[in-house]
Structure 1
């Protein structure tokens, strides 16, 4: 199962872990993803999405249908 947000497309970033002696080793920064159910009133059904917490805040602010339209028009899906 991939760690990619279904709505925004956020995914794992790669960086360095830096020790006290300045030795750099590769590490991963994972997005904060949550499985969440949303109700679509237009279709009268529930959908389950794996979304980042920032996307959940956006959905709470503008609504699920507007968020889907906004991210689809932006081209992230």
Structure 2
């Protein structure tokens, strides 16, 4: 399963862990994904993974 938002398409980003001595090692910044159950137009429900920001936007607009 991919770590990608179904609505906005947000996915993992890459960057560095930086220690106090400025040593850099690779790391991943993962999106804040939530699994929610969404009701479709035909009355069926489906589980989708969306980011927390998109979930807030959906709740605001509904």
- TM-score (normalizing by structure 2): 0.90
Task: Summarize deviations over 1:2-54 as a string: whole Å, max 9, x none.
Answer: 100011100000001000100111100000111100123x3222121100000
Q: Which has the larger strand fraction?
A: 2
Structure 1 runs (4+) deviating above 6 angstroms are none
Matched residue pairs, number? Answer: 62
User: 1:38 and 1:59 mapped to 2: Cα distance?
Assistant: 11
Equivalent residue, structure 2, for 1:69? none
Trace 1:1-20 onto structure 2 (pairs within 5 A): 1-20=1-20
More helix by share: 1
With the length of structure 1 as denominator, give the TM-score of the two structures: 0.74
CA RMSD of aligned residues (A): 1.0
